[in-house]
A and B are shown apart, each in its own frame.
Chain A
Amino acid sequence: MIWWQNIPFFLVWTPLLFASITAVLRAKVSRFLILLFPAVSALLSAILTWYCLRNGGSFAFSMGAFGAPYGNELRAGALEAALATAFSVIMLLSLLGGWNRMNVQIPRQRLGLYCVMVMLLLSGMMAEVFTNDMFTAYVFIEIMTIAACSLIVARTRGRTLFAATKYMIFNQLGSGLFLLGLSILYCLTGNLLMGDLHEKVAALIAEGAHLDSLTLAVALITIGLAVKSALYPFHSWLPDAYASCTPASSAMLSSLISKTYIFLYIKFIVRVIGLENLDVIHVRPILLACAIASILMGSIDAILEKKLRRMIAYSSVAQIGYVYLGIAVGTELGIAAAVFHIIAHALAKSLLFLTGDRLIGASDGDAHFHELCGAGFRAPVCGAAFTVGALSIVGVPLFAGFASKLYLSQACLDMSPRWSVIGLVVLAFSTALNAAYFLITIVTLYRTPMHAYQTRMHHHWYSNAALAALAVLLVLMGLLGPGIFSIIESGIKYLG
């Protein structure tokens, strides 16, 4: 065991430990800690990424040195480490960008508890990224659900309470399906570690035994995680939850939590089922149909929406459709494109939620489109940052969204001719739809306002710096796309 191989364990364990300590600290100290921990975690996972890339391959960390099949394992390679870095950085920037509003919107006595939930969320995210054990994944899914629900409900005004209840109900349905699927899989194989599961599943498929039960288990896990990551038609909880809570929370909910579930699903598909067995399980056509429906319906809902933050929330549904499209292609290229899109979309969506809320704030707090005229002049940094985020989501060259759509369309060509044509047409059409609502929004932001606005909101320099950093990262990711993509691709080779 070399020293850097302990990093995944500390990434999961330290935030969990400090979550319980944060509960009794003063709000001032814990507010400092929730910035410190994502920063440290980003640094450590960047170091881990570097070592993983240098040494190649991936390694397993047995918790407490209990060997398989009884022990619990973490597993890390370049892909997991890179994703952990991206998630930590985005978490830090989301918190910084929403810092002012968070301190205003969350009652003073609850701020300490909010910090506890942020710590739990960080720990849960790292656990989902690194775990090699399906049941541990389930436990941390529940921890993240509870943390996410508390993040929504921390702001007491508006309809957050109803939104959180809806979120909780749907997520519990999803967790229940996931757990049932997992139990059936466990009964079929007698293992919970992903590596051992894969051997048993491959053996079952080779024998042709229990194929129906296996399909049922995979279907239940797929639907469970699809509900939790808001794939169409299981997305009805999403707009309320994302649009009503404090901006730092909605940035983290949309860019981190749903993405973590999707990454868990990718690990399940690649590491447990194996890409070569996907067709036996019949999971691809269903995923493909849901992904395409998600891309189209999410964009149409966004076009019909009259309020800015709900529009951004609906666009999340469409973007999650892209990620599932990459998974549904079912080749290494498709998975790599999906992971690339996860990061690109997480950056852009975090930026859009943070700036969207501040643009609304600069328009006397009215979220309707006609009130947003000229908001880009009243809040120049936000206007520019929003434009960058929106252009990236639309897929304009130079930005991360363009690179990810390019890789997705390359991946689509791996499918059978008919499906690849459908995939490409959907990609092109949805880009037009994305452009329709985001370009209109950008134009609205820079039109002359109909009347004067008096609200002057003070934002700290580091808040603005966080927004600028997100925008710069989006451009960098667009420019360095091939380099990042090759890291992801090399990581995926060692994921299986």
Chain B
Amino acid sequence: MLNALTDHLEEVAALILFGIGFSNLLLNRNMIKKIIGFSMMDSAIYLFLASYGYIRGRLAPILPAETPAPSVTQYVNPLPAGLVLTGIVVSVSSTAIMLALTVRLYRRYHTLNIDEIAMRAKEADEA
């Protein structure tokens, strides 16, 4: 059991980070902390993917032009890196739109607490 944990240290760390990020996004009342949680959650998945693609002791998957091409067994798996790059772009745009929403929420309701925002939105509805 302990061996399995230490062999997959990155994956375990990634899952713990995912849990922290997820519960922050779900439970924290502060909008900015929610967004931090969201970023953590996504980064944790990228750590998970990147650690899957990395193989200890192998080279970066770049073909040198002059020397004859070495066999694929000498390289790490390049595909997860590509997925992580795509994912980073996606999460940057999601973070941007959430931050933009937060700015507008703060301008209208003068608070970052989601409960208070809900209360004021309800009051404004009934008024």
Contact = CB atoms under 8 A, between A and B. Distances in A.
Interface of A: 70, 135, 138-139, 142, 145-146, 149-150, 153, 158-159, 161-162, 164-165, 168-169, 172-173, 175-177, 179-180, 183, 186-187
A139 B108 contact: no
Interface string B3-25: 00000000000000010011001
B48 A149 contact: no
Interface residues of B, number: 36
Interface string B91-121: 0011001100110110010000010011001
B42 A159 contact: no
Contacts of B93: 142, 146
B26 A159 contact: no
Contacts of A177: 22
Nearest to B96: A146
Interface of B: 18, 21-22, 25-26, 31, 34, 38, 41-42, 45, 48-49, 52, 79-80, 83, 86-87, 90, 93-94, 97-98, 101-102, 104-105, 108, 114, 117-118, 121-122, 124-125
What are the 7 A-B residue pairs with the smallest beta carbon separation, nearest first?
A162-B121, A159-B121, A142-B90, A176-B41, A187-B52, A165-B101, A179-B45
Contacts of B117: 162, 165
Contacts of A183: 45, 48-49, 52
A136 to B, nearest CB: 9
Contacts of A175: 94
B45 A159 contact: no
A175 B45 CA distance: 11
B26 A173 contact: yes
Contacts of B25: 169, 172-173, 176
A165 B125 contact: no
Given A139-B90, A162-B117, A180 B101 contact: no
Given A168-B101, A172-B25, A135 B86 contact: yes
A139 B94 CA distance: 11
20 contacts: A70-B79, A135-B86, A138-B87, A139-B86, A139-B90, A142-B90, A162-B105, A164-B101, A165-B101, A165-B105, A168-B94, A168-B98, A169-B98, A172-B94, A172-B98, A175-B94, A176-B22, A179-B45, A180-B18, A186-B83
A173 B41 CA distance: 9
A173 B22 contact: yes
Contacts of B31: 165
B93 to A, nearest CB: 6
A168 B34 CA distance: 11
Contact of B101 (A135, A145, A153, A176): A153
Contacts, number: 82
B83 A135 contact: yes
| A contact patch SS | helix
A165 B86 contact: no
Nearest to B117: A162
Nearest to B25: A173
A159 B127 CA distance: 12
A233 B56 CA distance: 43
Given A135-B86, A175-B94, 16 more contacts: A135-B83, A139-B90, A142-B93, A145-B94, A149-B97, A161-B121, A162-B105, A165-B102, A165-B114, A168-B97, A172-B25, A172-B38, A173-B22, A176-B22, A179-B45, A180-B18
Contact of A158 (B90, B98, B118, B125): B125
A297 B109 CA distance: 32
A142 B45 contact: no
A161 B101 contact: yes
B125 A180 contact: no
A271 B98 CA distance: 34
B39 to A, nearest CB: 10
Most buried by B among A135, A139, A161, A176: A176
A173 B118 CA distance: 19
Given A173-B22, A173-B26, A180 B48 contact: yes
B32 to A, nearest CB: 12
Contacts of B105: 161-162, 165
Contacts of B97: 146, 149-150, 168
A57 to B, nearest CB: 30
Contacts of A162: 105, 117-118, 121
A162 B114 CA distance: 9
Nearest to B102: A165
Contact of B124 (A70, A159, A186): A159
A161 B104 contact: yes
Nearest to A140: B90
Nearest to B21: A176
A349 B49 CA distance: 40
A186 B90 contact: no
A138 B49 CA distance: 15
The residue in A70, A162, A168, A175 that gathers the most chain B C-beta atoms within 10 A of its C-beta is A162
